[in-house]
Amino acid sequence: MIEGRSSNSRLNAIVSAGVFLYFSLMFALPSGYSYGAILLLLGSFYFLAKGHGLTLSGEDKTIIYAFIGLFAWSAFIVLLHQNNPKTLDQTSRFLLAIPVLILLLHRPPRLRLVWAAVVVGIVLSTGIAVWQLHWLNQPRAAGFLNIIHFGNIGLVFGVFCMAGMLWARTQGQHARAWRIAFLIGMCSSVYAIVASGSRGSWLAVPPVLLLFVAAFLHKKNIKYAAGGAVFVVTATAALFSIPETGIEQRYDLAVTEVEKYQQHKYVGQGEAVSSVGARLEVWRTALMNIPQKPWLGWAEDDYHAELQRLVQAKEIDPYMLNMANAHNNYLEVLLLQGVVGLIALLAVFVLPLWFFCKRLRSSDITVKALALCGSSLVASYMMFAISQVILGRNNGVIFYVLTLAIVWACMRQEEKRGLHGPT
């Protein structure tokens, strides 16, 4: 009995430390996310080795099966096409997330610790951004991630702080302190996005706003919702109009690059070196080749040979030979893994999104807040995937699978509390 309590205490300490380090160090250190992630993974192995009884719901199992399916298909494609196995380095994170998810479902972290770690993490991103922009004189902040992921993950942290405002209502005399903390976190998030100059991050804003509308809008609060919408639009317009933010400049640059692409067609004229133009050309190239091998996709060597042929035939810009990927997660998977690979990718997005969205109208405030976090995470990643291969980098895929596991486990725990009372 004493040994059992000691084992539980160790696991609880591992989970608490792992989750706090994961969120709080996300921006602060090189590979900051890895410290907490490794601790949680080791804790999950310890948990499974102890042979604790496992209780999983149908939804839990569905998420796990989706993770297994994505990895299994990517492994099959590597063997079939004899591709470079480095792609398995990213998809294996889905497999490694499964024991962590199981651990968290049985030993979920304390919610106060999760929210505190989120606020600490995004506030530290501000310090990193200020250091890089004003001390190192870098044109855009990248933290220790990269420019795009710095902005993307910073946005997700900000959305979590927005959802945390709802949870703060349950904290009694401490509610005001939590609201102030979350407000600081939201301001830090906006700064992270602006400092990164990442245009793709803003793509996630409309679907996230729709999720908040779906969670809160009803006849009694429609006036408040309208007021909130006006505030968001006004704030966005203000950020756009302030020259120091660089948002208008980045927008104008994108428009210019699109116009240049349309004028030159990027065939042998070297114009594809622009950010937007390169994406448009690589998407066009992918769409040209996907219909040739739609079911199992192209072998990497065969596709590179085809690109060389198309360049020689002057059908695509020579710059395409230097592109590392399709800059679109959906096209990348469809191109190299076929329709089944795309279905597997959509499964790890759509299924969790649906499960979270089912709780958006929950009468339990905490469940609603966590459902907003989870659904916003997935919806944001689905939008990020349009302009980059967001799951093709270690930090991008780890943030998705591990954050999903943490939020899902916390939400399931709160549902159990609602059914059975305090535990």
* Per-residue pLDDT at 270 exceeds 70: no
The sign one gets for the Cα dihedral 325, 328, 332, 335 is negative
Q: How many CA atoms lie within 13 A of 405 on its CB side?
A: 33
Task: Tell if the pTM clears 0.85, that is, is over it.
Answer: yes
* Per-residue pLDDT at 338 exceeds 70: yes
Residues in the chain: 423
| Per-residue tokens: 157 | 């942290």
Report the candidate in 134, 103, 89, 132 with the shortest Cα–Cα distance to residue 39: 103
Cα(90)–Cα(391) distance, integer angstroms? 7
Helix, strand or coil for residue 136? coil
pLDDT number for residue 230: 67
Strand positions, DSSP E, 334-418? none
pLDDT number for residue 267: 44
* Per-residue pLDDT at 237 exceeds 50: yes
Helix, strand or coil for residue 411? helix
Q: What confidence category does residue 420 fall into, taking pLDDT thresholds of 50, 70 and 90?
A: very low
* Per-residue pLDDT at 422 exceeds 50: no
Fill in the amino acid letter for 19: V
What is the share, in percent, of the chain residues with pLDDT greater than 70? 83
pLDDT number for residue 421: 40
* Per-residue pLDDT at 159 exceeds 70: yes
The better pLDDT of the pair 274, 215 is held by 215
* Per-residue pLDDT at 149 exceeds 90: yes
Q: What confidence category does residue 249 fall into, taking pLDDT thresholds of 50, 70 and 90?
A: low
Report the candidate in 419, 398, 373, 379 with the shortest Cα–Cα distance to residue 165: 373
Distances (CA, A) of 185 to 148, 155, 164, 227, 326: 19, 10, 10, 22, 33
Distances (CA, A) of 201 to 72, 294, 348: 30, 30, 20
| Per-residue tokens: 243 | 């020259």
* Per-residue pLDDT at 271 exceeds 50: no
Fill in the amino acid letter for 202: W
Report the candidate in 33, 27, 197, 198 with the shortest Cα–Cα distance to residue 128: 27
8-state DSSP, 290: G
| Least confident residue range of 222-226, 252-256, 281-285 | 252-256
